[in-house]
A and B are shown apart, each in its own frame.
Chain A
Amino acid sequence: MTVPTSFEVSRLIDQPRVDRYAVAAGDPNPIHRETPEAYAGPFGQPVAHGMIVLGLVSEAMTSAFGVTWAETGTVKVRWRTPGLTPFTATARAELKKDADGVATYDVTCTDDRGETLLTGTATVRHG
């Protein structure tokens, strides 16, 4: 199987999306919502859950590998900068290595301000 060398997914992450995610994910932390705590916090405004950003990386992997991603995928990331809502996030995967039936990708997620939100590595077994 020839694996794709690069692919990406972009999405607007605005406050209504973050609010819906807070409910769906069971993460009610007030720093993610329009609350006094968010505006008094270190970022001066609400920030998106990091897991929404990671979800976009997973979506990019799904776009390339479908169910195989859910069956065999691994991902390891660190968050670099919080996503200040609203922003358009782009998750990218660049092939780093393809050996022994395992494709390894460098993954990043950036916003439309040029900030890197997340970096890491994802693998998928395709052989």
Chain B
Amino acid sequence: MTHTLDFTDLQKGQAFARLPLAITSDEVEAYLESTGESSETWRELVPPIFLDTVAIATLLSTVAIPKGVMHTGQEHESHRAARIGEPLTLEMRVSTLSERRGAIMIAFEAEVTDADDAPVSSMKISVMALPDGVTA
């Protein structure tokens, strides 16, 4: 995997991803099959947390995350349901970055918008990198 950014180079406020999305029914099926959730409700709509999953996959493919970084928290707000196949845009940025006793805490914000640039979902991914030599 080729990353475009290094974890240690991230800066507060830095935007690092803007990409078009169109969630397919095959992707939703595979997600639901893996989690065990019934697909009954999700024939036309995207399960909201699947959008978070896509944002995390984008983060993992864009930023080189060092070993030992923990996903500590997650926030999600649905502004409306996303429809399977509809054109969406995902934008991500570093919303907070702080250091305490050698541990680095970073929150990444992700926004999913539709073709009219209206908000669909807002998310926050919180991670913590412990100092070298310290494990969870």
Contacts and interface: CB of A to CB of B under 8 A. Distances in A.
Contacts of B74: 50-51, 54, 75-77
A21 B41 CA distance: 19
Interface residues of A, number: 37
Nearest to B136: A42
A25 interface: yes
A20 B33 contact: yes
A56 interface: yes
Interface string A54-80: 111011001000110111111111110
| Majority SS at the chain B contact face | mixed
A76 B35 contact: no
Contact of A59 (B35, B61, B77): B35
Interface residues of B, number: 38
Interface in A66-116: 66-67, 69-79, 82
A1 interface: no
Contacts, number: 110
A71 B72 CA distance: 25
Find the residue from A24, A37, A67, A82 having the highest chain B CB count within 10 A.
Answer: A24
Contacts of B136: 42-43, 82
Contacts of A23: 30, 34
A82 B73 CA distance: 12
Contact of B47 (A41, A50, A58): A58
Given A75-B74, A77-B73, A78-B126, 14 more contacts: A17-B34, A20-B34, A23-B34, A25-B31, A27-B60, A51-B53, A54-B52, A55-B35, A58-B47, A62-B37, A67-B41, A73-B78, A74-B77, A76-B76
Interface string B106-119: 00000000000000
B36 A11 contact: yes
Contacts of A29: 60
